[in-house]
Chains A and B, each alone.
Chain A
Amino acid sequence: MDSQAISEIAAKTGGQAFINGRIATITVKPEMLRDACAMVSSIPGLYHLSTITGIDIGEEIELQYHFWKEREFVSVRTMVGKQSPQLRTVSDVLPSAVLYEAEVHDMLGVLFQGNALMGRKLLLPDNYPKDAPPPLRKEANPEEIRRLMGLE
Chain B
Amino acid sequence: MSQAADSFSGRFRRWARKRSIWVFHVNAASCNGCDIEILAALTPRYDAERFGVELVPSPRHADVLLVTGTVNAQMKDRLRDVYEQIPEPKHVVAIGACALGGGVMKGCYNVGHGIDKVIPVDLYIPGCPPRPEALLFGIIKLVTGEPPDRREE
- A residues with a Cβ closer than 8 A to B are 124-128, 135, 140, 142, 145-146, 149-152
Kindly state whether residue B104 has any CB partner on chain A within 8 Å: no
- Chain B's closest residue to A144 (CB) is B109
Whole-angstrom distance between the alpha carbons of A151 and B110 in the complex?
8
25 A-B interface contacts by CB (under 8 A): A124-B110, A125-B73, A125-B74, A125-B110, A128-B73, A135-B109, A135-B110, A140-B109, A142-B108, A142-B109, A145-B109, A145-B110, A146-B109, A146-B110, A146-B111, A146-B112, A149-B73, A150-B76, A151-B73, A151-B76, A151-B110, A151-B111, A151-B112, A151-B113, A151-B117
B residues within 8 Å of A by Cβ? 72-74, 76, 107-113, 117
**Majority SS at the chain B contact face:** loop
* In the complex, residue of chain B having the shortest beta-carbon distance to the beta carbon of A132: B109
Per DSSP, chain A at the interface is: loop
Q: Is the CB of A125 within 8 A of B108?
A: no
**Which residue of the partner chain A has the closest CB to B107?**
A142
Report A-chain residues with C-beta under 8 Å of the C-beta of B113: 151-152
B71 to A, closest residue via Cβ:
A151
User: How far apart sit A25 and B81, CA to CA, in the bound complex (Å)?
Assistant: 48
Question: Closest residue of chain B to A124, judged by CB?
Answer: B110
Contact B72 A125 (CB under 8 A): yes
Q: Looking across the interface, which residue of chain B has its beta carbon closest to that of A136? A: B109
* Chain B residue contacts of A125, Cβ below 8 A: 72-74, 110
Whole-angstrom distance from the CB of A69 to the nearest CB of chain B? Answer: 30
In the assembly, what is the distance between CA of A30 and CA of B19, in Å? Answer: 66
Give chain B residues whose Cβ lies under 8 Å from the Cβ of A150: 76
CA distance A142 to B117 in the complex (A): 18
Alpha-carbon distance A149/B75, docked complex (angstroms):
12
Distance A93 CA – B74 CA, assembled complex (angstroms)? 33
CB-based nearest A residue for B76 = A151
What is the bound-complex CA distance between A150 and B113, given in angstroms? Answer: 12
Q: Which residue of B lies closest to A146 (CB)?
A: B109
Complex: A142 Cα to B76 Cα, angstroms: 17
Q: Which of chain B's residues has its CB closest to A107's CB? A: B109
Measured in the bound complex, the distance between the Cα atoms of B29 and A125 in whole Å is 13
Complex Cα gap A146–B108 (Å): 8
